[in-house]
Structure 1
Amino acid sequence: MDWNDRFAASGPGEPGPPSVLVGREDLVPTTGRALDVACGRGTVAVWLAQRGLVVDALDAAPAGLALGRAAADAAAVTVHWIEADLDEGLPVTGGYDVVVCQRFRDPALYPALAGVLAPGGLLVVTVLSVVGDAGGRFRAEPGELRGAFADLDVLVDEEGGGEAHLVARLD
């Protein structure tokens, strides 16, 4: 099943923060620019827009972007939706106050994620992990996120249950 089929079968989602930010929503500013990388159905992108951020959201799957557009329309917020293949790199330039990347892992993209942060910007990354789960080519090794973003001020670093979460700020 490809991502378009998966999104078409899943239907729209409810806007909300990334799971690592539940209870930590105060870390996210209410003004500025946000980027949601591999946004899927756009639930995080719409939540960011509801907070008052100007949001760019990108994904390779048109079906996911269509669900995101419908969710943004229903919430009466504006999100700039970008269809992009991340294998070709990050198709945006810097100055983002928040960058979110949920459940898309490409270590080659890690420098670009940090590189588009504005000073003081917040990075929120969740990937599948071998910690607490079976291995696999799409799963991060222990400490991968902390090592990849060692130049940032790490606020949250959690691994377990097959996921790794990192929240960090560019000083």
Structure 2
Amino acid sequence: MAVADRERWDDRHRAAGAGVPAPPDALRGHEQLLPPSGKALDVACGRGTVAAWLAGRGLDVVAVDVSPAGLAAGAALVASSQPPGRVRWVEADLDRGFADGFPDETGPYDVVVCQRFRDPALYPALADAVAPGGLLAVTVLSEVGDAGGPFRAPPGELTTAFAGELEVIAHHEGAGEAHLLARRR
């Protein structure tokens, strides 16, 4: 990612203020499927609202983002509500992929979340990071119900990318978003 992109995200996260722990959009209505403990990976975690929510549900979380400002906001959010050490914050450029971006983190994970970061080249790595019986929750911007644009997924992108390797539990496209919740068999 270009330095200008990182700075743009830093500015955006600084301006947004404190977040509130919240489940990933793709998991809403299916929270009962979340394991009571285990490891989670929050890819492109932003200000850490999902990481904080996962930690509050008993998971040990690796939260990855390119923005130091976003990671700092997430760390502050978690520090105010969770025991120390529940979330590990990792600054990484996901444009470099998983292996180059954060090679010291090992999976598999019981829960993998990627909310509003779309890079189809990372879809295989996201699926590979899910442990047997684990969950994958992905939300991306979508062309469905929207005018389209360079960062929006075409119809069916998520089910096509993940249905072969994972069992799709829930999928929805509309209003400019696509959500997928899947489980590794």
TM-score, normalized by the shorter chain, greater than 0.5: yes
Counterpart among 137, 162, 168 of residue 176 in structure 2: 162
The alignment yields a C-alpha RMSD, in angstroms, of 1.0
Partner of 2:145: 132
> Aligned partners of 2:49, 2:67: CA distance in 1, in Å?
14
- Identify unmatched segments of 5+ residues in structure 1: none
Partner of 1:11: 17
> Aligned partners of 1:19, 1:139: CA distance in 2, in Å?
16
> Aligned partners of 2:45, 2:25: CA distance in 1, in Å?
14
Partner of 2:95: 87
Q: Is 1:39 the counterpart of 2:39 in the alignment?
A: no
Counterpart among 148, 159, 165 of residue 161 in structure 2: 148
Counterpart among 58, 66, 75 of residue 52 in structure 1: 58
Q: Which amino acid is the alignment partner of residue 131 of structure 1?
A: V
Aligned length: 171
- Given the two structures, how large is their TM-score scaled by the length of structure 2? 0.90
- Identify unmatched segments of 5+ residues in structure 2: 1-6
% identical equivalent positions: 64
After TM superposition, give the deviation of residue 95 of structure 1 in Å.
1.4
Q: Is 1:103 the counterpart of 2:116 in the alignment?
A: yes
Q: SS in structure 2 opposite 1:80?
A: strand
Alignment of 1:16-31 (within 5 A): 16-31=22-37
After TM superposition, give the deviation of residue 20 of structure 1 in Å.
2.8
> Aligned partners of 2:26, 2:119: CA distance in 1, in Å?
19
Q: Which amino acid is the alignment partner of residue 117 of structure 2?
A: F
> Aligned partners of 1:73, 1:38: CA distance in 2, in Å?
19
